[in-house]
Amino acid sequence: MSPKLRVVLYLLVGGGLPATIAALGAGHFAWQWLAGIVLAASFVPVALFGPRSARGQFGVILPVLFTVTVLCTWSEAVIFMPGAILNPAGALIGSAVLYLVVAAVLAALAWALKLTRPSGWTLEHRPVRTTIVMVSICGIAYVIYYLIFGSITYQFFTKGYYPEATQIVARLGLWFWAIQIGRGVLMTLGALPVIYSLRMSRWQSAIVVGLLIWVAGGLAPLIPPNSFMGTTQRMIHIVEILTQNASLGITAVLLLRPKVTPVAVMRQEAA
């Protein structure tokens, strides 16, 4: 089987099986499958240049889905759409179970289809103390991106959809900004296993992780129709989350991954 065909199977099966589960409760099977394919596509670089074992793949995929797709998306809905989710705890548990299955399917497929490829890049990690500082900076950076792009989106596009948003932020006070810093830190920690295991160049990894956090936290969940948002509203949020999450992912990689030299180049220099 050719490598390209194996990747196609990874997308179709990895997106199709979890979509079947989601469609049982929410319907819109075709849209759910498309969302699953898009989500699987964002993990293709991880399947190709990430951990070589199924356990390793699972270990880097699950934290992204649990933090970015489940916890951060759920918390944003709870804050700005109070009452829309009738059973917040049940919704959180159901989403966690669904994406646990997604992580298991994608990890198993990456191993079964033998997608992992060799790479000429070595991986270097920051010291633990430096990593902690950089993760904290990423949380602050996310708040800056959230403030800039979120404010622009709210003022020009979504103010009519969330008339009580300013009152909610005012009631939360400083807690609102603490929550947003926490979300930035949480998403960075969720992506950290990918950042430190992706055998690609620093800038390639930055683009991959930026797109991954965007797709997992915005694009894929907002593709299927839902009872909370209309089509226009979903499209606006997809673009807004691109500006925030992709910026965070790129920032996180550039801060957490030191510059490295390809193995082949290092060997030539040593010779």
What are the pLDDT digits (tens) for 50-76? 999 999 999 999 999 999 999 998 888
pLDDT at 86 over 90: no
Q: How confident is the model at residue 143 (pLDDT cuts 50, 70, 90)?
A: very high
Range of the domain at 123: 3-270
Q: How confident is the model at residue 264 (pLDDT cuts 50, 70, 90)?
A: very low
Given a contact cutoff of 8 angstroms between Cβ atoms, the answer to whether 101 and 147 are in contact is no
pLDDT at 118 over 50: yes
Most confident of 22-26, 76-80, 171-175, 226-230: 171-175
Q: Whole-prediction pTM value?
A: 0.90
Number of domains observed in the structure of the chain: 1
Q: Helix-strand-coil percent breakdown of the chain, rounded to 5? A: 80, 0, 20
As a whole-number percent, the residues of the chain with pLDDT over 70 amount to: 94
Average pLDDT score over residue span 34-51: 95
Q: Any idea of the CA torsion for 128, 134, 135, 136, to the nearest 10 degrees?
A: 110
Among 3-12, 86-95, 180-189, 254-263, the least confident range: 254-263
Given a contact cutoff of 8 angstroms between Cβ atoms, the answer to whether 265 and 119 are in contact is no
Task: Decide: helix, strand or coil at residue 271.
Answer: coil
Residue whose pair of structure tokens reads 């979300």 in the numeric block: 183
Most confident of 24-28, 32-36, 161-165: 32-36
- Residues of 187-221 as b/e, b for ≥16 C-beta within 10 angstroms? bbbbbbbbbbbbbbbbeebbbbbbbbbbbbbbbbb
Q: How confident is the model at residue 119 (pLDDT cuts 50, 70, 90)?
A: confident
Among 24-28, 29-33, 199-203, the least confident range: 24-28
Please tell me the distance from the alpha carbon of residue 98 to that of residue 83, in angstroms, as a whole number: 23
CA dist 153 to 192, 237, 243, Å? 28, 8, 10
